[in-house]
């Protein structure tokens, strides 16, 4: 008998949003339980359909989607992204500086594979969207986590970033607005990050997939603030356009591109090797970026997303032992829970027990590279009735757990 084992490359790779707790949830569903799944930022199943204008245009052009497109993507899609760069003041961007991918996910992978040699360090926020840490690790790099301060609206701690730069640091990752914290960064913080990157010759990767899902404040693309550094900015259709299943995202190379020629060649090579992104998905990009931005209706006061965010946040902070920074953007609350009051020393275990008791599925904070067991993430895409049901169950469970 021989054993088939996974590659050593996967040894330290961790992506817990769809990890072991997912298997536990599947088991419960197979036993016939109806779960309330507040674990994944997937708008469509909660009634947030892709705007009809986008899906209709895809259907209209579907017969043109039989063949491969250019590896870096359809010209019309890249041109629309280029115009979006102009709107966001990201300078010095040509259609050739834009790469379309199967979601931002694929492009994160490509950007890391093309850059990192074994042992190269990359600064990634904690908490982070864990695909960044996983992709950097899979590429052979070393993810070094910098602190974001909960007591300061979860903004990146600039001193911590500076103290973690070494001779082998290649880049800083910024996730703004942030998943899981919902933090939206002010210009001063972005300028502080630029200052560090400039002094240490680092690339800035900026994941801005939630840039239009804002409940307060305005989003500034970090790449709009300097042109003497090399930036790679990521965005896509999954969140603002509620089209996660179309798998359409893009990556923008901007700023001081001349110094990154060799790296860009690497990106092009990897992009060529996967031939092209899903073409029907690409067909939606031009319409999405050009038309009426219905996401703004959903995120302003009275809009469905805004009201759900507010409700979820207010319910959470009224539970004893729970505090939460109010999200300024994205789709998540990331509350802190008093581990003594609720006797938690392993947050995965806590989330599992909560699932078994309440049939509500959340994600543990350690899934976002937080090294203390005192956070969890809850999405607020569910309508108010379902959210109320979920929060009633969570609150009831915590009351029982407290009384133990």
Residues in contact with ligand PLP by CB under 6 A are: 41, 103-105, 129, 175, 179, 207, 209, 236, 238, 244, 249
Q: How far is the CB of 85 from ligand PLP (least distance, A)?
A: 18
Task: Please say which residue, 57 or 106, places its beta carbon nearer to ligand PLP.
Answer: 106
Q: How far is the CB of 116 from ligand PLP (least distance, A)?
A: 18
CB-based closest residue to ligand PLP: 103
Closest CA to 103 of 280, 228, 281, 354: 281
Q: How far is the CB of 177 from ligand PLP (least distance, A)?
A: 8
Q: How far is the CB of 25 from ligand PLP (least distance, A)?
A: 18
Q: How far is the CB of 43 from ligand PLP (least distance, A)?
A: 10
Q: How far is the CB of 183 from ligand PLP (least distance, A)?
A: 12
Task: Please say which residue, 41 or 192, places its beta carbon nearer to ligand PLP.
Answer: 41
Task: Please say which residue, 236 or 365, places its beta carbon nearer to ligand PLP.
Answer: 236
Q: What is the 3-state secondary structure (H, E, C) of the chain?
A: CCCCCCCHHHCCCCCHHHCHHHHHHHHHHHCCCCCEECCCCCCHHHCCCCCHHHHHHHHHCHHHHCCCCCCCCCHHHHHHHHHHHHHCCCCCCCHHHEEEECHHHHHHHHHHHHHCCCCCEEEEEECCCCHHHHHHHHCCCEEEEEEEEHHHCCEECHHHHHHHCCCCEEEEEEECCCCCCCCCCCHHHHHHHHHHHHHHCCEEEEECCCCCCECCCCCCCHHHHCCCCEEEEEEECCCCCCCHHHCCEEEEEEECCHHHHHHHHHHHHHHHHCCCCCHHHHCCHHHHHHCCCCHHHHHCCCCHHHHHHHHHHHHHHCCCCEECCCCCECCEECCEECCCCCCCCCHHHHHHHHHHHHCEECEEHHHHCCCCCCEEEEECCCCHHHHHHHHHHHHHHHHHHHHC
Q: How many CB atoms lie within 10 A of CB 258?
A: 8
Task: Please say which residue, 104 or 312, places its beta carbon nearer to ligand PLP.
Answer: 104
Q: How far is the CB of 5 from ligand PLP (least distance, A)?
A: 28
Task: Please say which residue, 110 or 165, places its beta carbon nearer to ligand PLP.
Answer: 110
Task: Please say which residue, 133 or 358, places its beta carbon nearer to ligand PLP.
Answer: 133
Task: Please say which residue, 81 or 344, places its beta carbon nearer to ligand PLP.
Answer: 81
Q: How far is the CB of 108 from ligand PLP (least distance, A)?
A: 7
Task: Please say which residue, 127 or 192, places its beta carbon nearer to ligand PLP.
Answer: 127
């Amino acid at each position: 008998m021989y054993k088939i084992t996974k590659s050593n490359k996967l040894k330290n790779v961790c992506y817990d949003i769809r990890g072991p707790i997912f298997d536990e949830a599947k088991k419960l569903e197979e036993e016939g339980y109806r779960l309330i799944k507040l674990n994944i930022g997937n708008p469509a199943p909660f009634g947030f359909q892709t705007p009809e204008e986008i899906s209709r245009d895809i259907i209209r052009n579907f017969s043109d989607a039989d063949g491969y497109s250019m590896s870096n993507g359809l010209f019309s899609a890249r041109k629309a992204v280029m115009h979006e760069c102009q709107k966001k003041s990201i300078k010095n961007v040509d259609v050739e500086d834009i790469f379309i991918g199967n979601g931002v996910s694929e492009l994160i992978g490509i950007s890391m594979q093309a850059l990192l040699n074994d042992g190269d360090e990359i600064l990634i926020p904690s908490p982070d969207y864990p695909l960044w840490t996983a992709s950097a690790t899979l590429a052979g790099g070393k993810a070094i986590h910098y602190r974001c301060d909960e007591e300061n609206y979860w903004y990146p701690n600039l001193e911590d970033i500076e103290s973690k730069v070494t001779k082998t640091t290649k880049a800083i990752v910024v996730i703004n607005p942030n998943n899981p914290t919902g933090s939206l960064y002010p210009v001063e913080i972005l300028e502080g990050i630029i200052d560090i990157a400039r002094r240490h010759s680092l690339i800035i990767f900026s994941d801005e997939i939630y840039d239009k899902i804002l409940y307060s404040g305005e989003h500034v693309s970090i790449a709009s603030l300097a042109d003497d550094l090399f930036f790679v900015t990521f965005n896509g259709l999954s969140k603002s356009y509620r089209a996660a299943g179309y798998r359409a995202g893009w990556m923008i190379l901007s700023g001081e591109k001349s110094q990154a020629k060799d790296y860009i060649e690497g990106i092009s090579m990897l992009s060529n090797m996967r031939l092209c992104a899903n073409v029907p998905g690409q067909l939606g990009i031009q319409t999405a970026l050009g038309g009426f931005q219905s996401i703004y209706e959903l995120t302003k006061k009275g809009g469905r997303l805004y009201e759900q965010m507010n409700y979820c946040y207010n319910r959470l902070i009224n539970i004893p032992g729970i505090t939460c920074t109010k999200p300024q953007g994205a789709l998540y609350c990331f509350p802190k829970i008093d581990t003594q009051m609720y006797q938690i020393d392993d947050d995965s275990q806590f989330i599992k027990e909560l699932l078994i008791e309440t049939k509500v599925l959340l994600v543990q904070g350690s899934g976002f590279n937080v090294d203390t067991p005192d956070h969890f993430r809850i999405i607020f895409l569910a309508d108010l009735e379902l959210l109320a049901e979920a929060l009633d169950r969570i609150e009831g469970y915590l009351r029982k757990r407290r009384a133990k």
